[in-house]
A = this chain, B = another copy of it.
Amino acid sequence: MTKQVRAARTRQALIRSAAIVFEQHGYGQARLALISSGAGVSTGALHFHFENKAAVGQAVVAEASHALREVSGSIRRRTDTALQALVDTSHALVDLLGRDPVTRAGFRLSYDGDRGGEPGLPEQWRGCVGELLDEAAAGGTLAEGVSRTDATAATVAATTGFEVLGRYDPKWLSTRTLTGFWLLLLPRLADPETLPLLDPSGTAAATEAVAAGRAERESYGVGTAAPI
């Protein structure tokens, strides 16, 4: 294993450990010593990669942002209909929020009051939803008279709510709950010819995009204790 690969693995392990510590203790009370020991490295190794806690927080958000971008890009390339890509991407996001502490922490750092409110990830997700609805409108598959602004806001607010409510009851972050949301909303969003072609529970593209992302992260040894 080259020095560069070891360093990349340590950096990923620190990001993952930071996400878990932020989740357990809150960003304000998260201690750097706990983050480094969670990654199986010394605080010196942490400081080799990150200047301070803010830099660690930014790296968590950047990593979660990268994962969302990869997943949404992969789904878009594999899906013909923009509305199905929207449904699939939301399922992939909810799956990530349920399983991946880095995605969860990335979103929470964006809207937790004590972090000063950086809109990063929710705004990225809003942009993604808005683009897919624009594509659906351009392709003629969006129902007539639907406000894309309202549909974007409803989708982003509902997925955000599922994450927040899922903290005390995991059912909120389930495929079943999100499928119910699309069963309700899709008949308003899709034109009548497109609607029967859409799967509100998501297609294989969603699960495969998430699995591919996980494989990529694991190739860096994320979550394993890797000394620098």
Residues of A within 8 A of B (CB): 23-26, 28-29, 110-114, 117-119, 122, 146-147, 149-151, 153-154, 156-162, 164-165, 167-169, 172, 177, 180-181, 183-185, 187-188
A119 touches B26 (CB 8 A): no
Separation of A122 and B166 alpha carbons in the complex (Å) = 11
A154 touches B119 (CB 8 A): no
Q: How far is the CB of A19 from chain B (nearest CB, A)?
A: 12
Contacts of A165 in B (CB 8 A): 111, 122, 156-157, 160
CB-nearest residue of chain B to A157? B161
CB-nearest residue of chain B to A26? B114
Q: Supply 19 A–B pairs (Cβ within 8 Å), ascending by A.
A: A122-B165, A146-B184, A149-B180, A150-B183, A151-B184, A153-B180, A154-B154, A154-B181, A154-B185, A156-B161, A156-B165, A157-B158, A157-B159, A157-B165, A158-B158, A159-B161, A160-B160, A185-B188, A188-B188
Contacts of A117 in B (CB 8 A): 167-168
CB-nearest residue of chain B to A183? B150
Separation of A161 and B158 alpha carbons in the complex (Å) = 6
A184 touches B147 (CB 8 A): yes
Q: How far is the CB of A206 from chain B (nearest CB, A)?
A: 19
Q: A111-B167, A161-B156 are in contact. Are A150 and B26 (CB under 8 A)?
A: no
Separation of A151 and B183 alpha carbons in the complex (Å) = 10
